[in-house]
Amino acid sequence: MENLLVIAVGAIFVNNFVLSRFLGLCPFFGVSRKTSGALGMGLAVIIVMTCASAITWPIYTYLLRPFNIEFMEIVTFILVIATFVQLIEMVIRKYQPDLYGVLGIYLPLITTNCAIMGVALLNVEENYSFIGSVVNGFAAGIGFTLALLLMSGIRERLEFADVPKSFQDLPIAFVSAALLALAFMAFSGMRL
């Protein structure tokens, strides 16, 4: 059995989906302007990644692999992820309309967020157990949220900085993300 702490630390820091694997960059740059929107998106991603991992593992293990139809995994995983995103979207729209307004178009884009698909495919590729898959999904969501919150904090501070006109908004965000990714590269030398 795999070490769950190693899986969690690896997904959060060493193999962070945004800063190491460069997956999920669209919502990373789109929602990271304000911390409130980043936190809401991060929580939604944690829920969807965890639930997608919990559902896609048994589907792959007990349906796709035994019937030798592994080639259907991407289509199947997209359907599962789309279903959960729609459920999350309906709940947020009903109970948190302000958060729904902040997230805007990025909430439906979770359906095609490559980080969500990446965690489901990585669980299969790494041959994690059910618990390992759920821990990996949850930890990957935590890592995504951590990166999103760090970036939103940086971007909020940059609003008050004297940034040259040609670097304002997205260009300085890319430079900041690159420096953040470099900082996270320090974790790649960890021995777990």
What is the pTM for the complete model shown?
0.88
Residue 2 is predicted with a pLDDT of 75
**C-alpha angle with apex 103: 97 to 104, nearest 5 degrees?**
90
Residue 130 is predicted with a pLDDT of 97
Residue 44 is predicted with a pLDDT of 82
pLDDT per residue as tens, the chain (192 positions): 579 999 999 999 999 999 999 998 888 998 888 898 888 888 888 988 999 999 999 999 999 999 999 999 999 999 988 888 888 888 888 998 887 887 767 677 777 788 999 999 999 999 999 999 999 999 999 999 999 999 999 999 998 989 899 998 889 999 999 999 999 998 887 766
Residue 187 is predicted with a pLDDT of 87
Residue 1 is predicted with a pLDDT of 56
CA-closest candidate to residue 45, choices 132, 128, 111, 134: 111
Residue 192 is predicted with a pLDDT of 60
CA distances (Å), origin 147, targets 41, 71, 89, 191: 12, 32, 22, 22
Residue 147 is predicted with a pLDDT of 96
Q: Which two tokens stand for residue 89?
A: 């979207």
